[in-house]
Each structure stands twice: as structure tokens, then as C-alpha cells.
Amino acid sequence: MSREISIQARWDSEAGVWIATSADVPGLVVEAATWASMIDEVRLVLPDLMEVSGRSGEALSLTFKAEEHLDLAGA
């Protein structure tokens, strides 16, 4: 059975990057210019963070949840 990890991703329009964090993985903070590169970055850093927390070697199931905030004038 795999460990389920929920990752919150939000678009920062001022910085022009996706930011990914997770309450399930302390220390996970990734920024990337595209959705695909953000996922790649998460996949790169996640094994090290899991090892630091003593949970290395576990099969992982990642769920990405996206959020974007827009202000619409006069809508």
C-alpha cells in the first residue's frame, strides 16, 4: 500500500511561478515556472525530505490540488 500525500499548488501571478507545499511533508516548498516543472521539482526533492523524516523507501501516491486567485474588476 502506498502513502498518500496531498500537495497544494497555487499560482503566484506576481512572481510568475507555481508554489507547491504539503502539510504531509514538512519542509516541502517548491517553486517553478510551469505546472509540469513544478511536478518534476516535487518528484526530485520528495525522496530527500522523506528520508530526513525517517520515512524513506515508502511507495508514495501524490495528489496535486491547484489554486489560483483572480481579481476581476467590475464583474
CATH number of the structural domain spanning residue 37? 3.30.2390.10
Residue 21 burial (10 A CB sphere; 0-12, 13-18, 19+):
middle
What pLDDT was estimated at residue 54?
A: 82
Number of structural domains found in the chain: 1
* Cβ–Cβ under 8 Å, residues 17 and 32: yes
| Per-residue pLDDT tens over the stretch 1-37 | 788 999 999 999 899 999 999 999 999 999 999 999 9
Host domain of residue 33: 3-67
**Is 73 a domain residue?**
no
Q: What is the pTM of this model?
A: 0.82
